[in-house]
Amino acid sequence: MSTAPRRPTPRPAATAPAAPLFNRRQRLILAVLATGLGISSLALLLRPDSAPDTATALPAGVTATETGTAPTLTDELLPLDEPLLDVAETGPFLHTIAPGETLSELFSRHELDRATMQAVLAADEELLALDILRPGQMLVFDIDEQGSLQRLTLRLRPGHVVHYQRVDGDHFEFEDVRSPSEWRDYVFTGDIQGSFFLSARRAGLSDAEIARAQRILGEKIDFRRDLRAGDRFEMVVGQEVTDEGPTGHTRVEALRLQLGRRTVAAYLHDDSNYYDEDGDSLGRAFLRHPMQSQHRISSPFNLGRLHPVTGRVAPHHGVDFAMPVGTPVLTTGDGVVTRVGNHPFAGRYVEIQHPGQFKTRYLHLSRVLVRQGESVSRGARIALSGNTGRTTGPHLHFELHINQRPVNPMTAHIPTAHSVPAAQLAEFRQRVENLVASMDYAEQFLALHEVDTSGNDS
Ligand SMILES: [Zn+2]
């Protein structure tokens, strides 16, 4: 978007570091990095200002809400006699992504050539993490004395970094590092005044969570016609938290609507699908294959695949189907188009977020038939297959992610069953009982204390 020529920051001469490359805060961070504490401690010190919102919610037997405020950096953390500027020559250079900033801008600012950026993007083909940089994400450039990039680190979100490490003159490999996380549940309640959307917003739910709720129960009720003023809703939302703070991932654990005398509810089972209180599936089954006709698998899903050139492990996060250019590509489940991109190695691609914790990706397309934000139904044509990006022939690369991790789409447990399997029913019922108890508790708490749920802290 920004086409204005950006004056490249000159590499400072050894004698006179001209314009300061870093502000004071960044230099402090660099010093911390240099003292070997590493990127994980960096996250503790410098949390992006766009930390995920922590919605106001009733703590129904839940640990205290963590606030998303950035910790202040105090002078106690300053290694007092550390020669801070010594690191300025070769890095690590830390950069927090500003709105509109692109990867190529940052590479040219560090006088890194196009071939280097291409090599890093090649390593990112299976992740596509660098393809859409978001403000607040951080990049660390490790550049040696010869001005050669040795390692690039992307901090995607608290608890999740990706390292792109140089392995030889032309290649980088990635390492996807995630901190252990846990899910904390929050209960949101409210009554319908106006639309469900506005009512849920008043209760503190995010737009994305409301949209998800509507998709989860979309087959059961009509959110525009079936709701009356005074109907109540409860929602249990899980927030993923790491040692470094909330990751920004949330999931709807339970949703209950009390429409007059009728109650409609959805509960997330550990197969990442939603079921009603009796264990009957609310979502439609997934398709196993993203196309109508049979096509040969030319390359299977393989986390231990060896790179043909470097001989090192280069995971294959999808399954490749050999097919002629122009073959219709179908979404394997209902969902929303979350990304449409064009990558030098992945080619034209589409990403779809499905209800539950499912995501699919379709790469090397010749034509994309959907737009970002569009809702799609299972089996809909979303693209035509192609041969774009780096390929050895026309094929479709298809990925399935469950809970933000790629899995083998040919063998993964996807919602194909119509109800919770009998063997898991007891466990499912126990879980429903706990979620119902949380929601009931929240309602009782409200009734007893007349808590203001208009968005103010209780
Ligand atoms: Zn592939």
Domain closes at, from 178, 199, 225: 178
Residue 31 reports pLDDT greater than 50: no
Contact between 161 and 151 under an 8 Å Cβ cutoff? The reply is: no
Q: How confident is the model at residue 196 (pLDDT cuts 50, 70, 90)?
A: very high
Identity of the residue numbered 23: N
**pLDDT category of residue 313 using cuts at 50, 70 and 90:** confident
- Å from CA of 125 to ligand 1 middle: 9
- Cα of 408 vs centre of ligand 1, distance in Å, is 12
Given this model, what pLDDT does residue 356 score?
Answer: 80
Distance, CA 261 to ligand 1 centroid (Å)?
51
> Domain holding 197: CATH number?
3.10.450.350
- Whether residues 330 and 375 share a domain: the answer is yes
Task: Look at residue 303 and tell me whether its pLDDT is greater than 60.
Answer: yes
Residue 42 lies in a domain: no
- pLDDT tier at 128, thresholds 50, 70, 90: very high
Indicate if 257 and 399 belong to the same structural domain. no
Q: By C-alpha distance, which of 22, 2, 16, 4 is closest to 110? A: 22
Residue 194 contacts residue 227 (beta carbons within 8 Å): no
Q: Rounded to the nearest whole angstrom, what is the distance from the C-alpha of residue 397 to the centroid of ligand 1?
A: 4
Give me the pLDDT at residue 70, please: 33
Q: What is the pLDDT of residue 416?
A: 62
Query: 268 and 312: one domain?
Result: no
CA distance 266 to 102: 41
Residue identified by tokens 């609507």 is: 257
Q: Is pLDDT at 278 greater than 90 in this prediction? A: yes
Judge whether residue 13 has pLDDT over 70: no
pLDDT at 329: 98
Q: Specify whether 253 is located in the same domain as 388.
A: no
Place of tokens 């390292």: 163
Rounded CA gap, 269 and 206, in Å? 22
Instruction: Among 157, 178, 199, identify where a domain stops.
Output: 178
What is the rounded CA–CA span in Å between residue 306 and residue 300? Answer: 13
Distance 395 CA to ligand 1 centre (A): 8
Over residues 151-170, mean pLDDT: 95
Same domain, 276 and 403: no
Per cent of the chain over pLDDT 70 is 78
Q: What's the total number of domains in the chain?
A: 3
pLDDT at 10 over 90: no
Specify if 239 maps to a domain. yes
User: 367 pLDDT exceeds 50?
Assistant: yes
- Let me know: does 351 contact 336? Beta carbons within 8 Å: no
Higher pLDDT, 224 or 79: 224
**DSSP run (H or E) holding 189:** strand 181-191
Report if residue 58 sits inside a domain. no
Residue 189 has what pLDDT? 93
Domain membership flag for residue 344: yes
pLDDT of residue 307: 79
Cα-flanking dihedrals φ and ψ of residue 257, to 5°? Answer: -120, 130
Average pLDDT score over the chain: 80
Cα–Cα distance for residue pair 141/449, rounded to 1 Å: 53
Cis peptide before 421 (omega within 30 of 0): no
Helical residues (DSSP H) of 148-206, grouped into ranges: 196-202
Cα(366) to centroid(ligand 1), Å: 15
**Percentage of the chain lying above the pLDDT 90 cut:** 62
Residues 351 and 382 in one domain: yes
Same domain, 104 and 89: yes
Q: Pick from 399, 396, 419, 394: which is nearest to 410 by CA?
A: 399
Contact 23, 159 (CB under 8 A): no
Of residues 53, 48, 373, 374, the one with CA closest to residue 206: 53
426 and 388 belong to one structural domain: no
Q: Would you give the distance in Å from CA 242 to the centre of its chain?
A: 14
What pLDDT shows up at residue 444? Answer: 86
Residue 262, C-beta contacts closer than 8 angstroms, at least 6 positions apart: none
How far does residue 333's CA lie from ligand 1's centre (Å)?
20
**Do 428 and 331 share a structural domain?**
no
Residues with CB under 5 A from ligand 1 (ion): 318, 320, 397
SS3 330: strand
Establish how many alpha carbons lie within 13 A of residue 163's alpha carbon, considering only the half-sphere containing its beta carbon: 13
Tokens of 29: 């961070």
The span from the CA of 172 to the CA of 157, in Å, is 22
pLDDT of residue 435: 95
CA nearest to 11, candidates 129, 90, 77, 96:
90
List the beta bridge partners of residue 365: 348, 385
- Contact of 87 with 93, CB cutoff 8 Å: no
CATH number for the domain harbouring residue 343:
2.70.70.10
CA 316 – ligand 1 centroid, Å: 6
CB 323 within 8 A of CB 385: yes
CA distance 263 to 128: 42
Is the pLDDT at 354 greater than 70, yes or no?
yes
- Segment 414-438 shows an average pLDDT of 88
In this structure, is residue 64 part of a structural domain? no
Residue 53 in domain: no
Candidates 162, 123, 117; CA nearest to 139 is 162
| Encoded tokens for 316 | 């294959």
Sheet holding 245-259, edge to edge: 181-191, 232-242, 245-259, 262-268, 274-275
- The predicted-structure confidence for 32-78, as pLDDT tens digits, reads as follows 233 332 222 222 222 223 333 333 333 333 322 233 333 333 323 33
CA distance 195 to 128: 37
Residue 323 lies in a domain: yes
- Average of per-residue pLDDT across 247-263: 93
Split at pLDDT 50, 70, 90, the class of 320 is very high
Which of 283, 298, 371, 295 has the alpha carbon at shortest distance from 334?
283
Q: How far is the CA of 210 from the centre of ligand 1 (A)?
A: 34
For residue 176, the CA-to-ligand 1 centroid distance in Å is 18
Question: For position 48, what pLDDT does the model report?
Answer: 29
Is residue 40 one of the residues assigned to a domain?
A: no
Q: Helices 38-45 and 24-34, interaxial angle, to 10°? A: 150
Mark whether 30 and 169 lie in a shared domain: yes
Does the structure show a pLDDT above 80 at 185? yes
Q: pLDDT value at position 178?
A: 93
Kindly tell me if the per-residue pLDDT of 126 is higher than 50. Answer: yes
For residue 244, pLDDT beyond 60? yes
pTM value > 0.85: no
144 near 152, Cβ under 8 Å? no
Q: Is the pLDDT of residue 114 over 80?
A: yes
Same domain, yes or no: 341 and 354: yes
Residues 106 and 29 in one domain: yes
pLDDT of residue 38: 27
The pLDDT of 244-273, averaged and rounded, is 92
Distance 318 CA to ligand 1 centre (A): 5
Select from 156, 178, 200 the last residue of a domain: 178
Q: What is the 372 CA–ligand 1 centroid distance (Å)?
A: 22
Cβ distance 119 to 172 under 8 Å? yes
**Residue ranges making up the domain that contains 127:** 24-35+79-178
